[in-house]
Chains A and B, each alone.
Chain A
Amino acid sequence: MATTLGAPARARRRIVGTPSSWLVWGVVAFFLVNLAGVVGSVLVSSFGTRWFGTWLPEGFTGSWYASAWREFGLFDVVWVTLQVSLLVVLISVLIGVPASYVLARRDFPGKKLVYFAFLLPILMPPITYGIPLATVLYKYGFAGNMSGVVLANLVPSVPFVILTMTPFIEQINPSIEAAARMCGAGVRAMFLRVLGPLLVPGILAAAILVLVRTVGMFELTFLTAGPDSQTLVVSLYYAMSAAGIRAQQSVDAMAVIYTSTMLVLLVVALRYVNPTQLVARVKETPQ
């Protein structure tokens, strides 16, 4: 597939390439063909009418999308998903960025401990802390509605912002801040007018990664959501595990809607996030 989309000029040279190249690209092609099969079968099924044992369905229709939209109340679900993810992004940036500024610029007693505390929620499997967290949230009446979903999703998001932003702030030259202070800027002016604009690309990258993670986060939302606070993934899971009640194709249609949402987010994300930043983030992780 896409492998052959490489430059024709280069591809001509590759034909006499080493056997190892052939092997690697062969494996990639095999992976991609199967991946296309996995995605394609859902896509075809979501547009198909009756499909039993043949290569393609008997006919094509768009009506499954309409019925999925109505049956699952997708408007509400998408609206909830949007609200939850935007709230999570906003709050985690507001909490995370100041903290990462301190971690990037200061050395203080107990810094390692604080860093470790921020690292743990990312390293732990969501179910491990999700079950006690859901219990605690239910105890205080937060779970079962949107506030609980937002709070639970913040647990991995805030540390994620911190771990992404700390290396980003570290690479900003501290003498810029010193210069601003010397020219008479107060702390507030320094943050808003000097540091703020410099941080925008990093914040944008972190925010988009958090957005993608939150839209895709299944476990924590699943454990804390009530009937009217489900996000798209969770309601998709319920639709699928209750299969038999609903037509297979409308579940497929819903899955396609979910994936297209994520795809748009990811393409936007890849415009702002480059692999160098990914390494910077990960290099921080194991300390």
Chain B
Amino acid sequence: MSLTVERTDPTPTGPRDPGLSHRLAERGVDRTLLLLVPAVLFVALLFVYPFGYGLQLSFAPAEGGPLASYATFFSDPYQYNTIWITLGLALPAALLNVLASVPIAYKMRGRFRGKRLLTIVLVVPITLGTVLTAQGLLNFLGPAGWFNKAVVGLGLADAPVQLVNNYWGVFFSLVITGFPFAFLLILSYLSGIDPTLEQAAATLGADWKQRFRRITLPLLAPGLATTFCLAFVLAFSVFPSAVLVGNPAGETRVLALAAYQAAYEQYDYSLASAIAMVMGAVELLVIAVVLVWRSRLYAGSTGGKG
């Protein structure tokens, strides 16, 4: 490749100015950077350019001023309520996934037989994908499904409980697909914390509450924030399950669905781009808030084996 040229390069005593390339190399700019070029070109062509195109498209509606698409979105409650619907699904789901992972991962830190098997079983839902989860939830939680049979059979309810084709169907689907990710990350963060720290605290007479509150939690908090961000990103882009197990015309009409409908059902690409931009902005806002909070926490070595 062009890199081999580096060796046969004429010596700096050549006629060209030796100073510039030398000074650039001092700052880390040399031919190795060429390795970066394909990736940068790729991101520029397939991410930055389409994104810019979408941004420009969102300000260029078929009729009306440059802000008309955004005005359409923000003046219609059917449209702008999708923001709250999406947040109302994604925030609780991400929070539950992260918070539920902590005690489970905490109990799973030690060594015991079957730990690997249990990890695999907890992680299996990753393979289910949104569509099988949706199909399974419809079968299992539906009015004639096993869950409602058990509930009615045990006398917990008189009639089958409505758990699919509404908010809860989508919420369960988010928990099933999102929990394994959160759990894996939290487990790896927790195993990265040196257990001797907690043992030291125990010898000093701290009970488990104090140990968790004063030792584990501060060391885990940055990991919690990161996991929450990733879990939130995953839940925020909910789309197939909102259609399949939710009520896509009403209470689970999420942002992604609104954008999709604008693009492929109304063929209003400007409005679709505008909704997509709003979606990106809302998500980045939430992440930014979490990361700002995270930057104020301890961010050093956790002393573990990681």
Contact = CB atoms under 8 A, between A and B. Distances in A.
* A, B in one complex: yes
Interface stretch (A25-33, A64-72, A77-85): A25-33
Interface in B142-191: 144-147, 149, 176, 179, 184-185, 187-189, 191
A116 B41 CA distance: 14
The listed residue with most A CB atoms (<10 A of its CB), out of B33, B35, B48, B280, is B35
A38 B53 contact: no
Given A240-B134, A240-B244, A266 B229 contact: no
B83 to A, nearest CB: 13
A282 B230 contact: yes
Interface string A150-163: 01101100110010
Contacts of B223: 279, 282
A25 B28 contact: no
B66 interface: no
A262 interface: yes
Interface in B216-255: 223, 225-227, 229-230, 233, 236-237, 239-240, 243-244, 255
A234 B140 CA distance: 23
A96 B39 contact: yes
B127 A132 contact: no
A263 B47 CA distance: 31
A267 B120 contact: yes
Dominant SS among interface residues on chain B: helix
B112 A6 contact: yes
A233 B129 contact: yes
Interface string A220-238: 0000000000000100110
B113 A10 contact: yes
Contacts of A218: 129-131, 239-240
Interface residues of B, number: 105
Contacts of B263: 131, 135
Interface residues of A, number: 98
Contacts of A107: 28
Interface of A: 1-3, 5-7, 10, 20-21, 24-25, 27-28, 31-32, 34-35, 37-42, 45, 52-53, 55, 94-96, 98-99, 101-103, 105-109, 114, 117-118, 120-129, 131-133, 135-136, 151-152, 154-155, 158-159, 162, 186-188, 212, 216, 218-219, 233, 236-237, 240-241, 251-252, 255-256, 258-259, 262-263, 265-267, 270, 275-276, 278-280, 282-283, 285-286
18 contacts: A24-B107, A27-B104, A37-B136, A42-B132, A99-B38, A102-B36, A126-B237, A127-B237, A129-B50, A135-B50, A135-B53, A154-B46, A162-B39, A187-B3, A218-B239, A259-B128, A266-B126, A275-B187
Given A21-B107, A118-B39, A129-B50, 20 more contacts: A10-B112, A32-B121, A32-B122, A35-B124, A40-B146, A101-B32, A106-B28, A122-B233, A123-B229, A124-B284, A128-B259, A128-B276, A129-B47, A129-B51, A135-B263, A216-B129, A259-B132, A279-B185, A285-B226, A286-B294
